[in-house]
Amino acid sequence: MEMIRLFLAVPVPKKIKEELAREQEKVKNSLSDWKINWVAPENFHITLIFLGWVENEKVKTLKGDIAGAQKNLPDFEISTGSLTFEERPIWLEIKKGTEKLQKLQEILGKELSIKGSYLEKRASHPHLTIGRVKNKGKSKLPKIKKSFTWKADKIVLYQSKLRRSGSVYTELVSFPLGKTDNF
């Protein structure tokens, strides 16, 4: 039985990824004495739920469960905040949309738990990872003065393939968020 590694996330639009990549480059230059595995800009996202290894034949059912859980959820605005480093990841805080992201995680997590597709329960702290620290240097974490804002109008089921060069994410299916106000 073939297993694939999956997660649900809010994607970052291409234009924002490009702007974020420029800021990420500035952070790289400021932290040149740190050893960091940088997230490739095409992989920027906000994880909602890490589903882990799932049997390939269960993916179709999983897609249906996700579609049922999200069908009446509204779109909303996300804005990033300050750059943060804690243990390994370097991430951008979410300053606008945190409550909505947490509610989305809660609704999806509850529905997928009921359907038996998701069992992991860990505290959620919505953020956008830009790198993972292997060894911390002496340089101070720089400030990112710019805030990035976009409309979260869909969630995506991604497949994650682990490679030596870094993870490769493939969009399997996207689920549009509606225009209702059920939050």
Among 155, 163, 165, residue whose Cα is nearest residue 126? 155
Residue 125 annotated to the active site: no
> Is 54:62 a contact under the CB 8 Å cutoff?
yes
- Residue 32 neighbours by CB distance under 10 Å: 9
Buried b (16+ CB within 10 A) or exposed e, 95-108: eebbebbbebbebb
C-beta separation of 56 from 3 below 8 A: yes
End-to-end CA distance of the chain: 39
Q: Which of 12, 16, 45, 80 is catalytic?
A: 45
Of 11, 20, 78, 127, which one is the catalytic site residue?
127
Output the DSSP codes for 77-112: EEEEEEEEE-SSEEEEEEEESHHHHHHHHHHHHHHH
List the one residue out of 107, 79, 72 whose CA is nearest residue 93.
79
Q: Supply the residues annotated as catalytic.
A: 45, 127
